[in-house]
Structure 1
């Protein structure tokens, strides 16, 4: 019996990008020295800072994999991986451009019309066009096949009615890509009859309702669509191919370094606290560091597969499944290690990072597909289901 390979082989030498990483680290040191940002937790979700995105765009670090034809930089997925990993490890505020750069741009390149590419891709590269994702719906969990949002054919386009939930940054974003039902649901073929649309979020009929987190912060939204008109030229891809298109996007959504580095700034600060003998460590900090190192190799392997045009959705699911568990374990470990009733670390930035990590932790294993869904994806790939 042949061995099943879940994660693609690593065929690229990480040292190829050492100079690029050094350039990003130098930029980040200058930013920290100048108080441009303060390192945070989960900053690809919580760190909405368009001015910082503008700084990155000026250095060519947004739209890296977009072809130069569309205003991008024509660089590899592995080069983009190196840049994004350094930004996340530093806890930099990258949320404003994150979804557009990570997920929307590849979808437009693969399924978009020439008009859509010319309109959106240069603006994404400049850090001037921000997107959200309109997939999840109330009472649906991770079951995208149960989508109830409907798109009805009207003159010149489509009228979309329904509700999307957990839409990160919708109150700031310019548009989102919505998954909607364009044909009646067929119990025999649950994934049929779905299509994708580019919906401008300031269109008539769009209502954005804030979802306030337990931290008191506002990142998520409920987006209610009431007969929102979307012209034919804003259909993404082919009507009826929505499920195929969505699943092709998931490798980009699930496999990146944001799936294991959301709490890395806390781990790094913990190491500094230990080095300064303000905390007493144990072997678990080494085990967590080793897990991060392993996830780095898994995630970079998926980036290599994407660059080569290979299928990587199941490998991406494995990265997300293992990565978000590690993020949560870091939060729990440091919270117990700090033992703030017994140590003098109940104030300052370190304590803030701990609080942020604990409060953000519940969402790690939910967004981008719950653990149960991802376990099923991995099991099917390995022939266990």
Structure 2
């Protein structure tokens, strides 16, 4: 198999297991104190700034970053253990999730010293939140077709016009990293002429419109930019290098345990009750798939520790992982005699309803599975 899809196994990490136990103890105490309730898909729908600050106080945000920027210089495997435990518990981590997962690493890689010094310590403290500004209403996962544009004015600032969609928790966030056209589109070079801007979401001319999901919840948004003036020094990285930068960013977005654990609270609720032959068979089948997917995801974390950028394996993990998340809800629904309802007194019924109502988003966010399969095919030299 080509090297683009070959990843070395993750070495054992005593440090990761130590921090895993610390997180479990913390979560048990928080649950006992009633500070949060377990839900499905909380890395997008569970916004709790106070909880995010608690994680920051314990050094569980910005874990792999340099200490000079508020980080803790720990390994990607230690960070993986922390995020995995938070997801498994259904903890409310959505406020800081994007900033910690990809916006911070993007700033470390491409940001200016002023940008890093100003923003990274606040992310690590659980006090500064980011939104992804990639997809657009008429382009979806085809980022090469974006039309949001930014032009320099006489003062050297950027004037931004356009719209971004599926911007999860923009209404709770402080900044967006926005992919814009800084040069006219060229049909012969579709990936050229794009740049990334750091945009303060409190700037005049920005309108955030809610997009509600099937359960009435609101984390998706449309963000409209109407002649928004962004300071000239808020360019992220190099002008015209937006495609390269966003491709690197997506490796962080697509590979983490959130791509396989969104419905894990439902699976655990089901596991506690499974007793019939059909239920036990379903549990065994889903558990085997989860264990295999976890190994893939962990290998990507280990690759990041080695300084690699596993964008092709990350796309594969996101594809098969989110397909699994949807299958969890469907396979459990088939074998349990529990009505799915958000108002059910039965925790299994509530978790099943949450998983079903969130399911349409699993294989869309982070790039549709069809787009991801195209990325993998190119990595294999098949197209």
Per the normalisation by structure 1, the TM-score is: 0.95
Larger displacement relative to structure 2 (347-356 or 241-250): 347-356
Which shows bigger deviation, 87-96 or 10-19?
10-19
- SS of alignment partner, residue 160 of structure 1: strand
Residue equivalent to 1:201: 201
Instruction: Report the counterpart of residue 285 of structure 1 in structure 2.
Output: 283
Contact 1:7–1:298 (8 Å) recurs in 2: no
Alpha-carbon shift at residue 32 of structure 1 (Å)? 1.2
**Alignment-derived partner of residue 167 in structure 2:** 167
The 10-residue stretch of structure 1 (5-14 or 354-363) with the greater mean CA deviation from structure 2: 5-14
Distance in 2 (CA, whole Å) between partners of 1:372 and 1:287 is 25
- In 2, the alpha carbon distance for the partners of 1:380 and 1:164 equals 27
Question: Residue in 1 aligned with 2:255?
Answer: 255
Aligned residues: 380
Q: Which residue of 2 aligns with 1:26?
A: 25
Match of 2:150, SS? strand
CA distance in 1, matches of 2:47, 2:235: 28
Give the structure 2 partner of residue 35 of structure 1.
34
2:292 to 268, 291, 294: 294
Q: SS state of the match for residue 72, structure 1?
A: coil
Q: Is the 8 A contact 2:4 2:379 kept in 1?
A: no
- Report the counterpart of residue 79 of structure 1 in structure 2: 78
Separation of aligned partners in 2, 1:48 and 1:278: 37
- What residue is the counterpart of 1:214 in the other structure? 214
**1:59-98 correspondence runs (5 A):** 59-98=58-97
1:199 CA displacement: 0.6
Whole-Å Cα distance in 1 between the matches of residues 145 and 311 of structure 2?
Answer: 20
Q: Contact 1:149–1:160 (CA<8 Å) still a contact in 2?
A: yes
Aligned residue in 1 for 2:311: 313
Counterpart-to-counterpart distance in 1, 2:13 and 2:286: 21
CA contact (8 A) 1:209 1:221 kept: yes
Q: Paired residue for 1:374?
A: 372
Shift of 1:34: 1.2
Any conservation in 2 of the 1:7–1:301 contact (CA below 8 Å)? no
Residue 231 of structure 1 and its aligned partner are, at CA, apart by 0.9
Q: 2:192 matched to which residue of 1?
A: 192
CA distance in structure 1 between the partners assigned to 2:201 and 2:365 by the alignment: 21
**Secondary structure of 1:281's match?**
helix
| d(CA) in 1 for partners of 2:57, 2:237 | 31
Offset at residue 19 of structure 1 (A)? 1.5
For residues 297 and 172 of structure 1, the distance between their equivalents in structure 2, rounded to whole angstroms, comes to 33
Contact 2:2 2:380 in 1 (8 A): no
Structure 2 regions of 5+ residues with no counterpart?
A: none
Return the offset for 1:35: 1.3
1: distance between equivalents of 2:369 and 2:14?
A: 33
Show the counterpart of 2:130: 131
Q: State the distance in 1 between where 2:4 and 2:150 align.
A: 40
CA shift at 1:373, angstroms? 0.6
CA 1:224–1:235 in structure 2 vs 1: closer, same or farther (change >3 Å)? same
- Report the aligned-residue RMSD: 1.7
Deviations 1:235-286 (A, max 9, x none): 1001100000000111100000000000001101111112xx5996131211
- CA drift of 1:151 comes to 0.2
* Residue 346 of structure 1, CA deviation: 5.1
Q: Distance in 2 between matches of 1:158 and 1:85?
A: 39
Mapped to 2, the partners of 1:236 and 1:87 lie a distance apart of 30
Q: Is the 8 A contact 1:273 1:279 kept in 2?
A: no
Give the drift of 1:62: 0.7
Contact 1:157 1:231 in 2 (8 A): yes
Deviation at 1:341, TM superposition (A): 5.8
Contact kept? 2:64, 2:71, Cα under 8 Å: yes
- C-alpha separation between the residues in 2 aligned to 1:50 and 1:323? 28
Indicate the SS of the match to 1:282: helix
TM-score where L is the length of structure 2: 0.96
